[in-house]
Amino acid sequence: MPVNTDAQNTDAKPAAGGRSIDPLLDPWASLRRFTPARIGLGRTGDAPPLGAVLDFQLAHARARDAVHAPLDLEALRADLAGLPLCRVRSQAPDRATYLRRPDLGRRLHPDCRAELPPGMWDAVFVLADGLSATAVQRHAASLLRATLRRLPGWRIAPVVIATQARVALGDEIGEALGASLCAVLIGERPGLSVADSLGVYLTHAPRRGRRDAERNCISNIHRSGGLPPEQAAEKLAWLMTEALRLRLTGTGLKDDQPALPSPAPPVIEG
């Protein structure tokens, strides 16, 4: 059975990526519904079909936009209304330097240390733009609020918004605050299927020089086929509770949380 090309077909149905698919001519159509991967694209001569090429270019443009787009601080502050906030930045002076010098994104700018009030905090949440400010803009506030609802009685430091930030910047922030735990909510490197994926990195006793093996990570948080923020909050709150109880994170803290219940199937009437 031949694979559909770019020939016009008035009965074709749009696929998730915008391609026109005729289920009678395309044997891959039923499989594409289950994955964002680019499978069974077909070809026109020696090249992919025009629709597949345009889809790829659009995905690439979205990924580049996510990397370079600045964090809308005013909109994020509005989403976090009612929560105490601090604003810091790394030693990377601009986006171009940030991308070329990852080491500068891991260091707190000296002028920002005074913005961090030390105390006996159980945890601090750092909202960091990372490699996708788009992800932070869309998902960080809802994930944070859902997590806070699950941590009654915790001494939570003011929420820190960090720009031009890498994961390890949270170590210096947590150390300056005197927090027992630091949870960095950061935009992940965009891919060609998702450009707004959020990650969380949890570190016990944060301090400069912590290694990645000393952290726990929750990744692929987004609403278009990833881990929804509400479920991510459940997992994060569980990890934070266990980390504080055991006084550790990383390879020594296993994700033994009971499986979350699956959503109820839709009710079909008729």
Per-residue model confidence as pLDDT tens for the chain (270 residues): 344 444 333 344 444 444 555 556 677 877 877 887 888 888 888 888 888 888 889 988 988 888 889 999 999 999 999 999 999 999 999 999 999 999 999 999 999 999 999 999 999 999 999 999 999 999 999 999 999 999 999 999 999 999 999 999 999 999 999 999 999 999 999 888 888 999 999 999 999 999 999 999 999 999 988 999 999 999 999 999 999 999 999 999 988 776 655 555 544 444
188 is in an annotated binding site: yes
74 is in an annotated binding site: no
* Euclidean distance between CA atoms 155 and 168, whole angstroms: 22
Cα–Cα nearest to 204, from 165, 170, 246, 248: 248
Given this model, what pLDDT does residue 261 score? 56
Which domains can be identified in the chain, with CATH numbers? Answer: 68-246 (3.40.50.11240)
Given this model, what pLDDT does residue 82 score? 97
Given this model, what pLDDT does residue 96 score? 95
* Euclidean distance between CA atoms 201 and 203, whole angstroms: 7
Looking up tokens 């991967």 gives: 37
Given this model, what pLDDT does residue 2 score? 42
Given this model, what pLDDT does residue 8 score? 37
126 is in an annotated binding site: no
